Amino acid sequence: MSLLEKIDKTSVPKHIAIIMDGNGRWAKAHGLGRAEGHKEGVISVRKVVEAAVKANVKFLTIYVFSTENWKRPEEEINALMELMVYAVTKETPDLIENQVKVKNIGDITRLPEKTKKALEECEVKTSKGNKLTLILALSYSSRWEIVEAAKKLIREVGEGKIKEEEIDESLFSDYLSTKGIPDPDLVIRTGGEQRMSNFLLWQSAYAELYFTDTFWPAFREEDLYAAIIDYQHRERRFGKISEQIESAK
């Protein structure tokens, strides 16, 4: 029996974010080159997206490529960019069929023109999807995003568009690249590491964190369902005490 049947459909996390880690280590463990790990990781993305739709998750953000990843060897970066073009082009028909809408966030201007074009075309072609919004964090880092938001706010205060006293958490959130997207309820990190790696730091302030030793290329549908079930056994208090949570039910 699939773990999907054990999920409480009344408390599915609305937004799940995933730090996909372990492609290179999975490849090494299998005697393969790092590129093969990234290719297998693409299959995991497809399987997890399909599983998220089945579980009625509404938003799924995946950490595809961080700003720090630009420091990797040029050969690996080029291979990743080519794989991205191939994967996005190949998967677009299935995304449309599954009613998945794609949104790209991050410093997209740094991506090669070919990669950028493929991502933009995917966004347009999947724009009518209404079952799941898949957010691809590309050339993204949370510190970069927060600094960019601060710059915009400073500029608009200087131009008189907003007043300093109007700035609060809600307004600041509107200047982030995730504007209009609910904060993640659950953040999953694969590969055994237990850190956020500059991913959705502002948005994940109250997210539940789930760490697994499973490398991303081996992470599949049942692994996602297991994370959701673990999430459903937690008490989310948001600064309150248990008694307050119980009385509000």
Kindly compute the dihedral angle of the four CA atoms of residues 31, 36, 37, 41, in this order, to the nearest 10 degrees: -150
Note the pTM of the prediction, 2 decimals.
0.94
Each domain of the chain, given as residue ranges in start order, spans 8-141+182-233
Annotated active-site residue 130? The verdict is no
Which of 119, 137, 120, 125 has its CA nearest to residue 94? Answer: 125
Catalytic residue among 8, 21, 94, 174: 21
Q: From first to last of its 249 residues, what are the pLDDT tens digits of the chain? A: 899 999 999 999 999 999 999 999 999 999 999 999 999 999 999 999 999 999 999 999 999 999 999 999 999 999 999 999 999 999 999 999 999 999 999 999 999 999 999 999 999 999 999 999 999 999 999 999 999 999 999 999 999 999 999 999 999 999 999 999 999 999 999 999 999 999 999 999 999 999 999 999 999 999 999 999 999 999 766 565 555 555 655
Task: Give me the residue label for tokens 């790990």.
Answer: 37
Annotated active-site residue 69? The verdict is yes
Containing 134, the helix (H) or strand (E) segment is strand 132-140
Containing 16, the helix (H) or strand (E) segment is strand 15-19
CATH number of the 8-141+182-233 domain: 3.40.1180.10
Catalytic residue among 23, 56, 69, 168: 69
